[in-house]
């Protein structure tokens, strides 16, 4: 089996990369597992449009009929959105089996990073990354996203780590793995739905050029691994920390009672929080994704000018 048997890069994405035009990678779990239909499809198509309108090429990534596909079509986005959670959530451990069986799969942060790197894409924009779950000292539930950030040279632009996590332990884990956590225009780690967490990032950078140069310097030195760029949710969409944390605690309590574990945990919690907040958390989620892809596009453009 050859790489081309497992990996497909769309013509648009390949031509952009060959001609040093900016490309921004996008995940597909946010389509199948992150939002209800049709909001998931509307958001995914809007995200691609934002990237195009700002001068770059979007590359939404998924496993389609056994191929890790970099740059899926609007019809394939619609397909993933309608099928929803029936599409397997594909992390690193799942890739070989899904591809060899000719199955579909929605890529997580981990597998989107893998595919982006294989295709030659340096910047990936998403909502939030996984991390160390609460009570991980007992459950050992730690997202594969953190290990991927330690080994795969792709920049991930996000609104920080999902606030359902233990943010302090997540930062400790990233420090141990040598992954720089950059605050874009902030000294504090954003907490997904809110702009602050009370925890300090490694470095504050204030322009896309500074972020691009920092990542390129890291790669030039051969340090390997990725970089986490934490971009706070726009202030007008930031939720009250006390309110959203209360909703998160309620969702986690129900999750524990139901015995939900592993990769099913995050989709359950996000859906439960959306219901508890009457949909306001979903709107915040959408707006922070839009904000992140705009920044990711500007960083990708800066990289192409180097």
Looking at the annotation, which residues are catalytic?
27, 162
- DSSP tag of 207: S
**In 3D, which of 26, 34, 48, 42 has the Cα closest to residue 84?**
34
> What whole-number distance in Å separates Cα of residue 306 and Cα of residue 302?
7
Is residue 92 a contact partner of residue 111, using CB atoms and an 8 Å limit? yes
Q: Which residues of 33-69 are buried (b: 16+ CB within 10 A; e: fewer)?
A: bbbeeebbbebbbebbebbeebebbbbbbbbbebbbb
Is residue 162 a contact partner of residue 130, using CB atoms and an 8 Å limit? yes
CA angle 218-48-11, nearest 5°? 80
> What whole-number distance in Å separates Cα of residue 27 and Cα of residue 125?
8
> What whole-number distance in Å separates Cα of residue 185 and Cα of residue 180?
15
- DSSP tag of 135: T
Q: List all residues 6 or more positions away from 247 whose beta carbon is below 8 Å from its beta carbon.
A: 273, 276, 277, 281
């Amino acid at each position: 089996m050859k790489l081309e048997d497992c990996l497909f890069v769309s013509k648009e994405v390949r031509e952009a990369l060959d001609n040093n035009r900016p490309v921004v990678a996008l995940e597909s779990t946010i389509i199948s597992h992150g939002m209800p239909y049709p909001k998931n499809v509307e958001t995914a198509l809007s995200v691609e449009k934002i990237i195009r309108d700002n001068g770059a090429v979007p590359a939404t990534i998924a496993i389609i009929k056994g191929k890790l596909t970099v740059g899926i079509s609007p019809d394939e986005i619609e397909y993933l959105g309608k099928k929803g959670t029936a599409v397997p959530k594909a992390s690193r451990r799942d890739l070989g089996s899904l591809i060899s069986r000719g199955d579909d799969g929605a890529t997580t942060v981990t597998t989107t990073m893998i595919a982006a790197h294989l295709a030659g894409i340096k910047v990936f924009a998403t909502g939030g990354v996984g991390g160390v779950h609460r009570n991980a000292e007992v459950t050992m539930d730690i997202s594969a996203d953190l290990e991927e950030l330690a080994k795969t040279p792709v920049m991930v632009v996000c609104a920080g780590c999902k606030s359902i996590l233990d943010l302090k332990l997540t930062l400790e884990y990233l420090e141990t793995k040598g992954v720089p956590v950059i605050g874009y225009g902030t000294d504090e780690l954003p907490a997904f739905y809110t702009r602050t967490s009370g925890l300090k990032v490694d470095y504050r950078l204030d322009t896309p050029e500074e972020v691009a140069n920092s990542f390129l310097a890291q790669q030039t030195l051969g340090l390997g691994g990725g970089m986490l760029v934490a971009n706070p949710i726009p202030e007008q969409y930031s939720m009250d920390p006390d309110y959203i944390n209360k909703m998160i605690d309620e969702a986690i309590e129900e999750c524990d009672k139901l015995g939900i574990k592993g990769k099913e945990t995050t989709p359950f919690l996000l859906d439960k929080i959306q219901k508890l907040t009457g949909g306001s958390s979903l709107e915040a989620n959408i707006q922070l994704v839009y904000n992140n892809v705009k920044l990711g596009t500007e960083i990708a453009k800066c990289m192409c000018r180097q």
